[in-house]
């Protein structure tokens, strides 16, 4: 019997043993390895001494008779030996399995820890650096955020990220948190929306045993390594909260902890902000996010499509990217709408489908500062030169403020850029915007002027 024949023969015998002997001894049967078959004696070895003893003592006659049946030899019998080498081999295999199980357990534990930390830090899983598309509009902000994530409190403290709604401020800020938790799990991260901070502060000051509550409040916000405070502009005019935030800021700063803040405007543009707080915000690095270019927008929706395994025609993607230029959230929303429609009604992701769903009027006049000013001048029966010029008459001042307001509303550009066009400082531009925003609900003349100007621009 050569080796192949021997193995085949043994497999057959073993199969029969497994079929006939009780299940409790199956693991021992699996531990047997054939070693030879000579003159009716089948020798098998095991690395488990117990297997040899037990099988020999309790099952040898049954095993012999099965062997005799298969070999058609009435004298055949099985000889089970304990083998040290087999034992060593077995020990190694067992160790390997244990190690694998241990590794898997450790990995699972690590994943669980990670997700616990992510949720206690209050982070959205989508907002990571890996999911952030870098373009000219956000490269500097992205690189600064990454530098802060790699070396918290060593590079730029605080990091102040500002820009209009939907341009990725929250995303970048939370990416710093994710990066830290993943690469530096000993560091603690806390993300807080400014309105949550405000209401937390108010609840704690209202309570009677306020000393104890305030110390709990302070601890909550100052016992972390990195604090992420989102939408700081919401602190506007809240003097007491500003003072408290200043203390939170100072404690963290002195302890060498990283502070990251986002805002939809510059510190000095936040209404009634204290000078002390504004200057603290400007102490580190301020980076701006501006609207993405067409190429970046296209890349953002291509990434969403790839991540979600969505196949779409290129011209459908281009159509969406072309028509949603000011706000990434709106861009994502528009693309999601097309995808949902295609899925519900089983339509292909073509240009035609995108057009049917979004109905963007591609021929609509592009809204620029020039045509807003032109339409406003016409409404107030004056000229564009007057609006952008120095005249201070009541009528022209109102026209100017309204033009500024509409520019901000419809183009999502920064007060600085709008100010440049109107030959004004950005603080004057901000003031004009706030004036109209406050008057629009109470002053009929102003609200109808804004409505008619927007209508003339065909956006209402």
The yes or no reply on residue 152 touching ligand ADP (CB under 6 A) is no
Q: Residues 290-309 vs ligand ADP: string with x where CB under 6 A?
A: ----------x---------
By CB under 6 A, residue 419 contacts ligand ADP: no
CB of 134 to ligand ADP, least distance (A): 7
Query: Any residues with CB less than 8 A from the CB of 440 and at least 6 apart, and which?
Result: 446, 447, 450
Residue of 170, 192, 248, 323 that binds Mg ion (CB under 5 A): 170
Q: What does 171 bind: Mg ion, ligand ADP, none (CB cut-off 5 to 8 Å by kind)?
A: ligand ADP
Measured from the CB atom, the residue of 169 and 190 that comes closer to Mg ion is: 169
What is the size of the binding site for Mg ion (CB under 5 A)?
Answer: 2
Instruction: Tell me whether residue 108 or residue 295 sits nearer to ligand ADP (CB atom).
Output: 295
Q: Which of residues 324-383 bind ligand ADP (CB under 6 A)?
A: 328-329, 332
- The torsion angles phi and psi of 380, rounded to 5 degrees, stand at -95, 10
Compare residues 127 and 179 and give the one whose CB is closer to ligand ADP. Answer: 127
User: Does 194 interact with Mg ion (rule: CB under 5 A)?
Assistant: no
**C-beta of 169: minimal distance to ligand ADP in Å?**
3
Is 168 among the residues that bind ligand ADP (CB under 6 A)?
yes
Note whether 194 binds ligand ADP by CB under 6 A. no
Which of Mg ion, ligand ADP, none sits in contact with 168, Cβ below 5 to 8 A by type?
ligand ADP
Beta strands at 41-46 and 33-38: parallel, antiparallel or unpaired: antiparallel
Under rule CB under 6 A, residue 166 binds ligand ADP: yes
Least distance in angstroms from the C-beta of 138 to ligand ADP: 5
Of the candidate spans 21-29, 163-171, 238-246, 314-322, the one that interacts with Mg ion by CB under 5 A turns out to be: 163-171
Work out whether 192 is an interface residue with ligand ADP (CB under 6 A): no
174 binds Mg ion (CB under 5 A): no
Q: Cβ closer to ligand ADP: 244 or 326?
A: 326
Which residues lie near ligand ADP (CB under 6 A)? 126-127, 131-133, 138, 165-171, 300, 328-329, 332
């Amino acid at each position: 019997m050569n080796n192949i024949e021997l193995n085949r023969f043994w497999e057959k015998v073993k199969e029969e043993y497994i079929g006939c002997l009780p299940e409790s001894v199956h693991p021992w049967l699996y531990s047997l390895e054939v070693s030879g078959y000579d003159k009716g004696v089948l020798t098998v070895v095991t690395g488990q001494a117990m297997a040899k003893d037990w099988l020999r003592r309790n099952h040898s006659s049954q095993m012999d008779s099965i062997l005799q049946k298969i070999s058609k030899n009435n004298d055949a019998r099985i000889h089970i030996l304990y083998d040290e080498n087999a034992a060593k081999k077995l020990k190694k295999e067992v160790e390997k399995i244990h190690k694998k199980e241990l590794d898997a357990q450790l990995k699972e534990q690590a994943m669980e820890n990670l997700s616990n930390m992510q949720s206690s830090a209050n982070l959205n899983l989508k907002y990571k650096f890996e999911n952030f598309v870098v373009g000219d509009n956000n490269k500097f902000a992205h690189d600064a955020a990454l530098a802060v994530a790699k070396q918290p409190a060593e590079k730029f403290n605080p990091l102040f990220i500002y820009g209009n709604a939907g341009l990725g401020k929250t995303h970048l800020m939370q990416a710093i948190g994710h990066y830290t938790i993943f690469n530096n799990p000993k560091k603690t991260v806390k993300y807080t929306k400014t309105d949550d901070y405000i209401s937390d502060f108010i609840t704690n000051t209202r309570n009677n045993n306020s000393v104890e509550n305030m110390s709990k409040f302070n601890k909550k916000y100052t016992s972390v390594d990195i604090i992420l405070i989102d939408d700081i502009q919401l602190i506007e005019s809240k003097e007491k909260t500003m003072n408290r935030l200043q203390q939170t800021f100072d404690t963290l700063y002195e302890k060498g902890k990283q502070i990251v803040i986002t805002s939809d405007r510059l510190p000095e543009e936040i209404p009634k902000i204290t000078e002390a707080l504004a200057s603290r915000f400007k102490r580190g690095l301020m980076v701006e996010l501006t609207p993405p270019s067409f190429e970046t927008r296209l890349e953002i929706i291509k990434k969403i499509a790839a991540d979600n395994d969505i196949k779409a025609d290129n011209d459908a993607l281009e159509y969406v990217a072309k028509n949603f230029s000011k706000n990434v959230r709106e861009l994502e929303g528009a693309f999601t709408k097309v995808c949902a429609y295609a899925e519900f009604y089983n339509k292909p992701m073509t240009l035609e489908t995108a057009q049917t769903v979004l109905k963007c009027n591609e021929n609509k006049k592009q809204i620029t500062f020039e045509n807003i000013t032109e339409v406003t001048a016409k409404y107030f029966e004056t000229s564009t030169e007057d609006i952008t010029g120095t005249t201070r008459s009541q009528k022209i001042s109102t026209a100017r403020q309204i033009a500024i307001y509409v520019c901000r509303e419809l183009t999502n550009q920064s007060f600085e850029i709008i100010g440049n066009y109107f030959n004004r400082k950005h603080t004057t531009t901000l003031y004009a915007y706030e004036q109209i925003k406050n008057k629009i609900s109470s002053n009929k003349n102003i609200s109808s002027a804004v409505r008619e100007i927007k209508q003339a621009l065909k956006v209402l």
